[in-house]
Amino acid sequence: MNAQITSPAYRTSHYRVVEPVLRKVLREAEREHQELQEVFELMGWGALPEELKIEIGDDIRAFREELFGNYSTCDEGVLRRRRRVRYWVELYLDGACSIRTAVESLRVRSR
Closest CA to 33 of 46, 21, 20, 18: 46
pLDDT band at 3 (very low <50, low <70, confident <90, very high): low
DSSP per-residue letters across 21-72:
HHHHHHHHHHHHHHHHHHHHHHTT-TTS-HHHHHHTHHHHHHHHHHHTTS--
Has this prediction a pTM greater than 0.85?
Answer: no
* Structure confidence by residue, pLDDT tens digits, 45-83: 999 999 999 999 999 998 888 888 888 888 898 899 999
- CA 5/CA 83 separation, integer angstroms: 52
Please report, for the chain, the start and end positions of each structural domain, with discontinuous segments joined by +. 3-106
